Structure 1
Amino acid sequence: MSYTSSPMTEAMYYILLALMNPNHGYQLMAAIEQVSNGRIKMGPGTLYGVLTRLQKDEMIVILNDDGRRKTYAITEDGRTALNVEYKRLKDMIQDGVILEERS
Structure 2
Amino acid sequence: MGRRQAELGRFTDVALLVLISLAEDAKHGYRMIQDIEAFSGTVLEPGTLYGALMRLEDRDWIEALPIVDRRRPYRLTPAGREALSEQLATLRRVGETGVKRIGPAALGPA
Question: What TM-score results when the alignment is normalised by the length of structure 2?
Answer: 0.76
Higher relative CO (Cα under 8 Å, sequence separation at least 6) belongs to 1
Aligned ranges for residues 1-103 of structure 1 at < 5 Å? Answer: 10-20=13-23, 21-36=25-40, 39-66=41-68, 68-96=70-98, 97-100=100-103
Query: In 2, distance between residues paired with 1:55 and 1:44?
Result: 16
Give 2:8's aligned residue.
none
5+ unaligned residues in a row in structure 2: which ranges? 1-11
Large movers: runs of 4+ above 3 Å: none
Given that residues 13 and 82 in structure 1 are in contact (C-alpha distance below 8 angstroms), is that contact kept between their aligned partners in structure 2?
A: yes
Structure with a larger share of its residues in strand? 1
Identity of aligned residues (%): 33
Q: Show structure 1 runs of 5+ residues with no match.
A: 1-8
**2 CA distance for matches of 1:35 and 1:72?**
18
Name the SS of the counterpart of 2:89 in structure 1. Answer: helix
Q: Deviations over 1:7-37 (max 9, x none)?
A: xx6101110111121000111100111221x
Render the CA deviation track for 1:46-72: whole Å, top value 9, x for unaligned: 000000000000000012225832110
Paired AA for residue 16 in structure 2: Y
Residues 60 and 72, structure 1, Cα contact 8 Å, conserved in 2 = yes
